[in-house]
Amino acid sequence: MRAHPHLFEINTWPWLDAMSRRSGRITTLGSVPDREWDGLRRLGIDIVYLMGIWKRSPLGRTLARSNLQLLEVFDRVLPDWTPRDVAGSAYCIAGYEPDPRIGTWDELAKVRAALHARGMQLIVDFIPNHTGFDHPWINAHPDRYVQGSLAAFRDDPSAFRVVEIPDGDVRLIACGRDPYFAPWTDVAQLDYSNPETRAAMVAELGRLAQRADGVRCDMAMLALRDVFGETWKAHLRRPMPATDFWTEARSAVPGFVLLAEVYWDLEWRLQQLGFDFTYDKRLYDRLLHAPPADVRGHLMADPAYQRRLALFIENHDEPRSAPTFGDRLPAAATVVTTLPGLRFYYDGQFEGRTDHLPVQLGRWREEPADENLRKFYERLLTAADADAFHSGEWRLLDVHPAGDGSSADLAAWRWVLNRDLRVVVVNLGSNTAQGLVQLSSDLPDSGDEFIFEDQLNGDRFPWTRDALRAGLYVKLGKGGAHVFRST
């Protein structure tokens, strides 16, 4: 896999449903047309992430169909929904095997082979924190879950579920949770103080390593020994092990891609524990809400750290980028497509979809594609597919004022591979901005005349070496971007 790869996430259930509706027959993984994979390869995608392929919990599906808060969401994003459209949460699973609606192990193997034939890799979900309440372990291995007392249940009945084990025992099994939010009442909390639980989850990860090239680890920071220990200290029956679960997991699957969904500034720590890539939610938030200076400051981090960040402006957890970023979208998309790290895209992002589909729904509303946005992404991804953006050297550039103070809204960087120079400039502010990008030290030693061709629109700008000593002059409207190739 090349450096700074491009990942494309597919919400598999509604994706297959949409294909089925178009073709008039049920489409599963094994019958996905080759043109789907060919199209992703043409866009320069390196990794396909099939989200939500595992067997959904029937109990979780029932709970999703009867949750009044969720029903309001369904009403908003899919006004003609029916209970049949509710597949259940992709993160409430009854086992690590393909859901019958998605396909079979053989069909998944066929997809992986198709991707490999096109130079792409496959990653799937790994959900370390919890399972559905009808997962086989609930009955066969209840001690793999956090248990509550009757007093704890009386104190907070929404945090536990009463489960009768086949041998007649009754357990109060904790619902999964993020410590900053209410319990997730459809899932059972795994106990990472129990060595048996850890060994079983490492074994599951090992089995997935035989079927895919990597995993996206859901809420990976919740399994850290201190985070887990603090969250569940009132209910643990044994001390936490001395090592982190992820240390054991990484050792068990060398060479297997580990991508962490992680928050709370724990990205570096998970990288140190062996994760290949970690979510960069901080950059997303800064692009959306912070002043340009904060974004530039973000890009001053250690390059070794940055190259292992997963950059996105959209995924299945975040709202759709087109309505969220509005006229600032070109700049935001250019940022995450041309910086070091894993560049992460979501199905529907390139077409400008506006509906943020909850993970419980198996069908999405038909939306017309934004053809202008689609063409923009095609140009952007084609530009970023160049070797310079993967094998080249990256450096943040200074931008000096050009007659006013608006240069503070600009951010610029360059990639250099041999004599191939690429320069990216984005306007992160709310108004037109101009500035002088300082790159004279990056120009080739030979030649006194240069053409800067914008890969996003084909515009060409001639410059002399002497003129560039003051800087490359740029002027961009709100949300504008340049991706220059110097010739």
Q: Which residues contact 309 (CB under 8 A, 6 or more apart)?
A: 267, 277, 278, 279, 280, 283, 340, 341, 342
**Fold (CATH) for 6-132+192-389:** TIM Barrel (3.20.20)
Residue 189 has pLDDT above 90, yes or no: yes
pLDDT digits (tens, 9 = 90+) for 129-160: 999 999 999 999 999 999 999 999 999 999 99
pLDDT tens for 60-85 read 999 999 999 999 999 999 999 999 99
For residue 211, list its beta bridge partners.
none
- Tokens found for residue 411: 């951010």
Query: What letter represents residue 298's amino acid?
Result: H
In this prediction, residues 483-487 reach a mean pLDDT of 93
DSSP 319: P
Name the fold adopted by 392-486: Immunoglobulin-like (2.60.40)
Task: Please report the pLDDT score of residue 444 as a whole number.
Answer: 80
Phi and psi for 467 in degrees, rounded to 5? -65, -35
Sheet (strand 410-417) strand order: 393-397, 410-417, 420-427, 481-486, 449-454, 460-464
The CA distance from 176 to 187, in Å, is 5
Helix and strand tally (H, E) in the chain?
19, 23
Sorting pLDDT into bands at 50, 70 and 90, what band is 168? confident
- Which residue ranges make up each domain of the chain? 6-132+192-389, 392-486
Structure-block tokens of residue 375:
């063409």
Secondary structure string (H, E, C) spanning 332-388: HHHHHHHCCCEEEEECCCCCCCCCCCCCCECCCCCCCCCHHHHHHHHHHHHHHCCCH
pLDDT tens sequence across 226-279? 999 999 999 999 999 999 999 999 999 999 999 999 999 999 999 999 999 999
Over residues 334-393, the pLDDT tens digits come to 999 999 999 999 999 999 999 999 999 999 999 999 999 999 999 999 999 999 999 999
Q: What does the pLDDT look like over 431-476, one tens digit per residue? A: 999 999 999 888 887 778 899 999 999 999 999 999 999 999 999 9
Backbone angles phi, psi at 460, to 5 degrees: -125, 135
